[in-house]
Structure 1
């Protein structure tokens, strides 16, 4: 790995730390060549501390180490993306990330949709909200709706109309997310089961 440590007068390059599972950015540190070599040899992320003016292995005092998974060099050879499995919170203030974010796996729009479903359930306005009205009818009705949508997906899969197939697939996913919440779960719980089956 040919890192260009000479671009900066202090001989340091930024090292962006990312959780290998959740893809959340956890922190930003700086490395010189010695820090990089120690990270590779120990498999624990080590930085050059600009305040202490020495090598510093993350978690050397707290025990909240960053276990190395992968290192990537950017196109200009002057910054690093380091994927890790963190042990405990990353920030010295006790939070998961240095931006005070929870380090959990999210799925962009799908996670936002889960939050919308949850807020509609809590609001409970069955006259204005389809979600609330379906939840008011109970879990049997929600499960029945998932079954109906699944059958419609199968029917459309055997046809040639891709638009209808995608529409029915969206309906199925939407109602399945509702069923998960009716059972007290979220998509992350299903993903955890899938991960446990990974070989």
Structure 2
């Protein structure tokens, strides 16, 4: 069903279009659409823009094969800006990068991803061998797995009491040590999320 879009708000008949990866939520690029480009996008399920430089419709990937497969279109509150979620086929930018901001199109879990990066840095940086993370990794995966088990028991114990502060602190300890165990096994949080997504979709 065609949504109401205010293409007449600007004299050129164009509205800005933000392109976002539906899985990672990373913003890939910004383009422009007129009514014709919007209708072609709906028809082909491949994102089509209006090229301001070439003054014609332009389907992303028409020469490179790096199409943007349409998942959803959302209109903003003023009906003059679109958010389009896509499944990108290959890199989005014409320079060959994932995004037009030269960023990797990777799943991010906010501070948890930052914490994963800190753990990796502590393990790989020789100057941080005195850190708790590095010292635990030096003891091997059995010790790391043991710590996860110990922290899990602490969470269960605190869950049975009424001290929310202790429960949350033990939960944080468990999550931190679990991220270390994932690192020791050669995985990341994203690998676990992928399994959960597959279960959800099956």
TM-score norm. by structure 1 comes to: 0.97
Match of 2:77 among 37, 55, 75: 75
Residue 160 of structure 1: how far off its partner (Å): 1.2
Residue matched to 1:7: 9
- Aligned positions of 1:160-171 closer than 5 A: 160-171=162-173
Matches of 1:123 and 1:152 in 2, distance apart?
30
Matches of 1:158 and 1:29 in 2, distance apart?
54
Residue matched to 2:175: 173
Match of 2:148 among 146, 149, 163: 146
1:136 partnered with 2:104: no
Matches of 2:176 and 2:9 in 1, distance apart?
50
Matches of 1:123 and 1:94 in 2, distance apart?
31
1:77-121 Cα distance to aligned partner (Å, 9 max, x none): 110000000111111111110111111101010000000010011
Residue matched to 2:54: 52
Secondary structure class of the residue paired with 1:10 = coil
Residue matched to 1:126: 129
Residue matched to 1:19: 21
Matches of 2:153 and 2:168 in 1, distance apart?
13
Matches of 1:197 and 1:94 in 2, distance apart?
33
Secondary structure class of the residue paired with 2:200 = coil
CA RMSD of aligned residues (A): 0.8
Moved more, 154-163 or 31-40: 154-163
- Structure 1 unaligned spans of 5+: none
Residue 180 of structure 1: how far off its partner (Å): 0.5
Matches of 1:167 and 1:173 in 2, distance apart?
10
Aligned pair count? Answer: 198
Residue matched to 2:158: 156
Residue 7 of structure 1: how far off its partner (Å): 1.2
Matches of 1:9 and 1:181 in 2, distance apart?
54
Residue matched to 2:109: 107
Residue 32 of structure 1: how far off its partner (Å): 0.3
Secondary structure class of the residue paired with 1:165 = helix
1:92 partnered with 2:94: yes
- Provide runs of 4+ in structure 1 moved above 6 Å: none
Matches of 2:55 and 2:42 in 1, distance apart?
20
1:196 partnered with 2:195: no
Residue 195 of structure 1: how far off its partner (Å): 1.4
